[in-house]
Chains A and B, each alone.
Chain A
Amino acid sequence: MATTWIEKLRSAQKTCLLQDGRKKVHFTFPDGNEMAEEYDVRTDELLVRKWRKKLNSFATKQNSEQWEYEIGEQLAPRNLESAGLMESLSNPIFVRKDSNTAFIGRVRNLPFPIETYNVTVDEDKKNIVIRTTNKKYYKKFDIPDMLRAQIPLNQDSISVAHANNTLIVSYKKPKAIIDMEKQIQTEIKKMKAAKDGDVDCTPS
């Protein structure tokens, strides 16, 4: 349940940093995976949560340098040559961006009117599926927070809006999640944050 996640966070090695009006928290879990979160200092909203999984691949030696974004957007420069192929910038782009009361998925570059979209929870209650009647866009995504808390998704909590070529799918956070986040928030508040620029370094 929700407490297992908090336990996991407690077991991790944590560092905290204040930078650009964001509070950045870095977790290293005992299994070698890393997670980094960025909170807005004023509103305590979660802006970014990214993961770096430890790969154990001898045979292919893939680089595990890359961060995977769970929440927020990767603002890396596009390098077509090294990537080989990339989604064109005119394509719909899906980004998770949460508010304090809801999980929000935003899809930019979707010009079609709101009737086109059909947002449902799929059968196993773990994923949300966005379909389009004109077969131009399809996206199946899960909400990792809900998976971690092992709460099944509920169709009634979903609301859909469309404006400025952007489709906004929000899922109302259940009470258990809100409580848990508050608890995490207070834990993080307790942590001593190193200010950017003055690194904790006492010459001896």
Chain B
Amino acid sequence: MAVPTAESVKEVREVTRIERIGAHSHIRGLGLDDALEARNVSQGMVGQVDARRAAGVILEIIKEGKIAGRAILIAGHPGTGKTAIAMGMAQALGTDTPFTSIAGSEIFSLEMSKTEALTQAFRKSIGVRIKEETEIIEGEVVEIQIDRPATGTGAKVGKLTLKTTEMETIYDLGQKMIESLTKEKVSAGDIITIDKATGKITKLGRSFTRARDYDAMGAQTKFVQCPEGELQKRKEVVHTVTLHEIDVINSRTQGFLALFSGDTGEIKSEVREQINSKVAEWREEGKAEIVPGVLFIDEVHMLDIECFSFLNRALESDMSPILIMATNRGITRIRGTQYQSPHGIPIDLLDRLLIISTTPYSEKEIKQILNIRCEEEDVEMTDDALTVLTRIGMETSLRYSIQLITAANLVSRKRKGTEVEVDDIKRVYSLFLDESRSTQFLKEYQQEFMFNELGVTGDTMDTS
């Protein structure tokens, strides 16, 4: 048995992609046109036209960045694209706007109080764009030379020659710099910048002078001009940090290293106040700019009454981000109380929310989504098989049918087929039960399962 396992491992390694495929990795945006009208199929989004349009309007509010403390609730059945819409918003906002995504149950930690966790999440979603002058070295790599000692152990010695159109300079490299240069795969002909204070290397692209007609280049290779003037420049750089990062840096003696150790613990409110006033001061001086971001709380019904009342207050602060919540519950008990409320959220908070609802997908939409997922997961499928899968999706759930794609693909590969056919779908459909068939099965064979001798019925199970 050991031999085939080893072989298959090797096989997997060869096809490993750099990015792994997640449930929502096909989402690239909200798929809206300039007039905020939703295109039916665009950027990985299918259907949910109304919900997407509503999300687009919210997006405009966020982009303007003036309104603080608005909250949006996305409500809908399981598998109707709530998380997908939130992801789409994150993608549409771009990397410059902080987007924090947490699940409702994440805040229940033994090390931290619930409100502290929520405050941290809030502050992670507010960015501060700081303008600072730093010294950078910008030039084209002429030569990079790294010598390892012949014995194999000991310090490496390195030299880096950089040039601009006007000058050339040789730099001696320290151990850390050698490592980061190798990590960044810097080679002769690259145009790089090095931040002198932090040692951060950024590759800007390849030099035009090094471009050859028949060089094999990745599609993302950018060609740039060789920089002019001096190698060392003072440049005004803009970096975006979140309020939470500033909190952490200033609450620990070891400074920014605390960010990497992960152990941030609770942050004193004095520190936060001090930072808020400092940031406000910078804003007046024009040194910094506030970038309000988005906090997305999935499965928001998992929050309890304390968190909800905290949210009520937190939303009133002018430093609060846009809050997006998602839930798949109907009228249910609010956690931590005996009261029933729509979406498991107290009415006073619901009153502050704009609610977007998602609707179940039509058959055509399911087919399109499955098609997109097939592409994303690199699976070829015949039209018939796709139709069958769509039927399964209609009768069971979208999630179940999406999960069958890769499973069916593996089955078809094992029989050395090139495309997934109806038979493969049938095969996996019989192999894996969906939720309703599994329930059916349980009902039939309930007697045979463990702890059933007492005759307790499943109805009393707490599902909240």
Binding site for B on A (CB under 8 A): 57-62, 80-91, 131-132, 135-140
Contacts and interface: CB of A to CB of B under 8 A. Distances in A.
Nearest to B168: A136
Contacts of A132: 166-167
Given A90-B170, A137-B168, 13 more contacts: A57-B132, A58-B249, A59-B130, A59-B241, A60-B132, A61-B255, A80-B174, A88-B172, A91-B169, A132-B166, A135-B163, A135-B167, A140-B229
B396 interface: no
Contact of A81 (B168, B175, B249): B175
A81 B176 contact: yes
Interface string B119-156: 00000000010101000000000000000000000000
Nearest to A62: B197
Contact of B275 (A58, A62, A80, A139): A58
A98 B176 CA distance: 38
Given A91-B169, A136-B167, A137-B167, A81 B174 contact: yes
A131 B229 CA distance: 9
Given A91-B169, A91-B170, A135-B168, A84 B199 contact: yes
Interface of B: 128, 130, 132, 159-160, 163-177, 194, 197, 199, 229-230, 239, 241, 245-246, 249-250, 255-256, 275, 278, 282
A86 B172 contact: yes
B164 A138 contact: yes
B284 to A, nearest CB: 13
B194 A61 contact: no
A59 B250 CA distance: 8
B443 to A, nearest CB: 60
Report whether over half of chain B's contact residues are helix, strand or loop; otherwise say mixed: mixed
A109 to B, nearest CB: 11
A85 B278 CA distance: 33
B159 A88 contact: yes
Contact of B250 (A58, A85, A131): A58
Contacts of B199: 84-85
Nearest to B200: A84
Contacts of B229: 138, 140
B248 to A, nearest CB: 11
Contact of B172 (A80, A135, A137): A80
A88 to B, nearest CB: 4
23 contacts: A57-B132, A58-B249, A59-B241, A60-B132, A60-B256, A61-B250, A61-B256, A62-B197, A80-B173, A81-B176, A82-B174, A84-B176, A85-B174, A87-B169, A87-B170, A88-B170, A88-B172, A91-B169, A91-B170, A135-B163, A139-B167, A140-B229, A140-B230
A88 B130 CA distance: 33
B36 to A, nearest CB: 35
A139 B282 CA distance: 34
Contact of A58 (B170, B176, B246): B246
A85 B173 contact: yes
Contacts of A131: 166
A100 to B, nearest CB: 30
A53 to B, nearest CB: 11
A50 B176 CA distance: 29
A183 to B, nearest CB: 32
